[in-house]
Structure 1
């Protein structure tokens, strides 16, 4: 029955992706639609497709086996991909203004260095993508062979056909929105599997300290890396950290609506990538402690045999890893189709429409990738081999072009040939070290050497589009000046006046909540947990109840006591110690009881809503410290255990999680509210100015009418008198 449910889940997942992909691809009319999708994607969709594309199914299996066998060195090296994305967002994307909107990396290289460079770039990029597609298709077969026991050929053909169909007909919009589904799928599945293994780990009596004692995961073990292992670690870390402007990377940047959106998306993606990588690495880290005698390639089968017996878990793991594989494969297919149907077509002058040729090549490429997947077993070797045919050939000239270096077509072609020869020589000589970094270095040295020795045209001509950099520089300068001015003009009293509520009912409702919170705390705190320091608890209870009653009675305070400044300052102080300090204290006293833990989280959110996200986060951090100090005084201890899995560690995790939630949800809303209030204040000022001008105009009109009446009567009197004289005569 469990097997049937798992199969149903997987088929439903495939069908959902197919329907969504084809639905969003209906509007594809041109090659630009097929490649960039109109460049009107939201930042969230852009982040999802970036993360989903570069969190691959093959990386999941490789991380499981390599973390189990190599330990911390591989985790550190592979996590450097996040640093590479961060470098891309900070230094590279802001300099790509002139390339935004280009359909492919081949188009850019062709514009700079001619059709021959464009053709080589397209072919190299396609070779890289083909290796990536085949690896992801291989993951489908590995999954079904492990989980279901059916021949991998059927799984590869089934899942790959779905990906090929919506990638071929849907274009980048289909790829992007299916990536969103796939991102949330594996984003849910991976933590679920990690938690299941963690619970099993704890039930066996293991601790994280014991696991860290393993030399593979001990920081001291890094110093023992020598010889081949040290060089391999450095080269692998450099490979991951190097900011790659590959065909898919370039497409994800170019499809953004602006440099600002692309930069923001890549910076967010860098944080998500390292988080996902650490979650995946956490799984073999625990498995190594529980079962240290496995072969690295047996880690996956061990997970299946021991942690997928619960209903739905196997199906979730299947679709989670499948999502990682599909989200990468569809991106590689789309990118390759554009390179062939646009760049190679233009160079070779193929007499077929761009869109038709792209779709035809997408389908043929998918079939070829299926063939490769059925005939290859080494995932990591395939990935690295495919990458070695792009980065050492195209990576350096393109990256230098982004930073403003230009040279001639001859220089670039010779440098590309040097990089390619280095890769081939490395393979022929059978050198086991990763050749990509060395080949890229050779490419760069030959490029610079030929350019300057033979005095080629160009050089460091600079970036053509400085608009974003100039705008960013001005914005940073403005923000620094505003920060300095705010610090110089800051007044705590004025700040409290501005943030405190004006309505008396707000004080009353807060006091009532304090009373309810106090009674809830008394109810949830069991006497056996109080211990000998009951006096401390009693004093805290008294402070809580007195504070609640006094604040609740604020509307009937005597006017002489209702001094505005005192109340506004007290508003922030009572929120600080009642909602944060005491919440931390009692959640520790109650050993993270369910009710008290819920109140702890609720109080942090309420404090932030009432004081604003900036002050709320600051209060939470400082209040957390004071709450722990109060607990240490109460418990009579000097140190608190913050090891992974301990209640104290959980509390820190909750504070960080709450802070992240506040930044994601409350920050934009409160900033919008503040901006709205500023606009209202500005408009109110302008309305008052216009009213004053109207009053002045009314007064002027009155004076004008009075003067007109006076001036009118004077001549009319003379005329009337003369008329009377004439009548009498």
Structure 2
């Protein structure tokens, strides 16, 4: 009975640790600048952690493992290239942000160049994107809890997790969000290699046997990926779309949080390097599942993973999904709040009209 409850107990402990971290690093915000970007004295390592925690969502982990199993090398190249190049694109962007380092949002930067109306349009579209992102992450929390335990209604834990991130994000501002992001990303960074190793252990194949098996599979053959056809064109278009999708207000906000454009450049350079290794481990999980059960339907991939690990590891997987979802959701919640108050209410004079 205790073992079956272990994943749930681990999730509760992690949520309490997240709340404690958020409260500990909460600092009474005396201005909107404190709430939005802090006092700009964050270390490079902390900013790297919050950049990656913001970019990597729980849905991305689930989708990448499933698509590696389904599409093979096509998806492996796509996810590796998009996860590194997309982040490194911010390096030249950060080098040109010296005039805007005192800004609080992407909408303000656009408004300072193009005027008030483009600023409001950017703010509204960014808010809509943030709301969708937050909704997706909340849905993934429910999915993660349902995969790990059937001892409690998943929506109860989802509501608790959502209230926790709303609480520390609202009262602690970007400082609380940043340090909880660091905790959550470090947690994920520890767990994902363990999961990849365990999945390969389940195959009971040597590395040589795994490579030999993959060579026999069409979806893992290089000639299939790089042959000149419509699939290659679609593949390139998908990479370009993936690169652009990373340019979001919550990510741009990390540039404003840096002490200088030079620090911001270093942050995104290190983030791209670390992102490469993170993606490799996620890809390895998908490959391991494919080697073990190549004919498994995509809907059964995570059921297979959760059904072939002990309760302790099941709890770790659930915690890793919670880490990614909460860190992405709280960052978007913070940037969304700034966009509403600073770029819509203040810039349009709605607060004065009242």
Q: TM-score, normalised by structure 2?
A: 0.93
Q: Offset at 1:318?
A: 0.8
Q: Secondary structure at the match of 1:207?
A: helix
1:249 is matched with which residue? 251
Match of 1:198 in 2: 200
Which of 241, 262, 269 aligns to 1:239? It is 241
**What is the rounded CA distance, in whole Å, between the counterparts of 1:122 and 1:130 in structure 2?**
12
| Higher Cα radius of gyration | 1
Name 1:418's counterpart in structure 2.
none
In structure 1, C-alpha distance between the alignment counterparts of 2:217 and 2:131, rounded to whole Å: 39
Partner of residue 135, structure 1:
136
Structure 1 residue 162 corresponds to structure 2 residue 164: yes
Secondary structure of 1:75's aligned partner? helix
> After superposition, where does 1:524-603 map in structure 2 within 5 Å?
none
Q: Which residue of 2 aligns with 1:8?
A: 9
Deviation digits for residues 505-531 of structure 1 (CA, Å, limit 9, x no counterpart): xxxxxxxxxxxxxxxxxxxxxxxxxxx
Determine the C-alpha separation between the residues in 2 that align with 1:99 and 1:270.
23
Aligned partner (choices 263, 266, 271) of residue 265 of structure 2: 263
Q: How has the CA–CA distance of structure 1 residues 269 and 161 changed in structure 2, closer, same or farther, with 3 Å as cutoff?
A: same
Compute the displacement of 1:234 (Å).
1.6
1:230 is matched with: 232
Match of 2:119 in 1: 118
Aligned to 1:684: none
Give the secondary structure class of the aligned counterpart of 2:93: helix
Partner of 1:314: 314
Q: Secondary structure at the match of 2:291?
A: helix
**Which of these residues, 291, 294, 305, is aligned with residue 296 of structure 2?**
294
Please tell me whether residue 209 in structure 1 is matched to residue 190 in structure 2: no
TM-superposed deviation, 1:87: 2.8
User: Hey, what does 2:27 align to over in structure 1?
Assistant: 26
For 1:284, the equivalent position in structure 2 comes to 286
The 1:168–1:274 alpha-carbon spacing in structure 2 relative to 1, beyond 3 Å, is same
SS in 1 for 2:42: coil
Residue 243 of structure 1: how far off its partner (Å): 8.2
Q: Report the CA distance between 1:203 and its aligned residue.
A: 5.0
Q: CA deviation at 1:225?
A: 6.9
1:218 & 1:337 partners in 2: Cα distance? 47
Q: In 1, are the aligned partners of 2:27 and 2:175 still within 8 Å (CA)? A: no
Q: CA deviation at 1:266?
A: 0.4
Residues 103 and 254, structure 1, Cα contact 8 Å, conserved in 2: yes
Equivalent residue, structure 1, for 2:344 = 344
Alpha-carbon offset, residue 157 of structure 1: 1.4
Q: Is the 8 A contact 1:141 1:151 kept in 2?
A: no
Mark the runs of 5 or more structure 1 residues left unpaired by the alignment: 353-729
Structure 2 runs not aligned, ≥5 long? none
What is the CA-CA distance between 1:154 and the residue it aligns to? Answer: 2.3
Q: Which residue in the other structure is 1:511 paired with?
A: none
Aligned to 2:148: 147
Q: Deviations over 1:679-710 (max 9, x none)?
A: xxxxxxxxxxxxxxxxxxxxxxxxxxxxxxxx
Task: Find out whether 1:68 has 2:79 as its counterpart.
Answer: no
Q: CA deviation at 1:204?
A: 7.9
Q: Alpha-carbon deviation of 1:275?
A: 1.1
1:274 aligned partner = 276
Check the 8 A contact 1:55/1:328 in 2, yes or no.
yes
Please tell me the root mean square deviation across aligned C-alpha atoms, in Å.
1.8
SS for the counterpart of 2:39 is helix
- Secondary structure of the corresponding residue to residue 102 of structure 2: coil
Structure 1 position 70, deviation (Å): 1.0
The equivalent of 1:326 in structure 2 is: 326
Report the Cα offset of residue 349 of structure 1.
Answer: 1.7
Residue 348 of structure 1: CA displacement?
A: 3.0
Name the counterpart of 2:42: 41
Contact 1:211–1:286, Cα closer than 8 Å, also in 2: no
Q: Is the 8 A contact 1:85 1:243 kept in 2?
A: no
For 1:87 and 1:117, how far apart are their aligned partners in 2? 23
Task: Quickly say closer, same or farther: Cα 1:198–1:225, change in 2 above 3 A.
Answer: farther
Aligned to 1:53: 54
Q: 1:218 aligns with which of 221, 228, 234?
A: 221
Residue 79 of structure 2: aligned partner? 78
Q: Tell me the distance in 1 between the aligned counterparts of 2:325 and 2:143.
A: 11
Partners of 2:66 and 2:298 within 8 A in 1: yes
Alpha-carbon displacement from aligned partner over 1:145-199 (angstroms, at most 9, x marks no partner): 1121244422321211111111111111011000110111000000001111122
How many angstroms apart in 2 are the aligned matches of 1:243 and 1:262? Answer: 19
* Higher RCO (C-alpha under 8 Å, 6+ residues apart): 2
> Tell me, what secondary structure is at the counterpart of 2:350?
coil
- 1:244 offset after TM fit, Å? 4.8
Q: Indicate if the aligned counterparts of 1:21 and 1:166 stay in contact, CA closer than 8 A.
A: yes
Specify whether residues 225 and 56 from structure 1 end up closer, same or farther in structure 2 by C-alpha distance, changes over 3 A only.
Answer: farther
Distance 1:32 1:278, change over 3 A: same
Tell me if 1:108 matches 2:93: no
Matched position secondary structure for 2:317: helix
Aligned equivalents of 1:15 and 1:152: distance in 2?
A: 17
Deviation for aligned residue 1:230:
3.3
Checking the alignment, whether the CA contact within 8 Å between 1:88 and 1:243 is kept in structure 2 is: no
How many residue pairs get aligned? The number is: 348
Choose 235-244 or 254-263, whichever is displaced more.
235-244
Q: Summarize deviations over 1:532-552 as a string: whole Å, max 9, x none.
A: xxxxxxxxxxxxxxxxxxxxx
CA contact (8 A) 1:87 1:243 kept: no
Alpha carbons of structure 1 residues 118 and 201: separation in structure 2 relative to 1, 3 Å: same
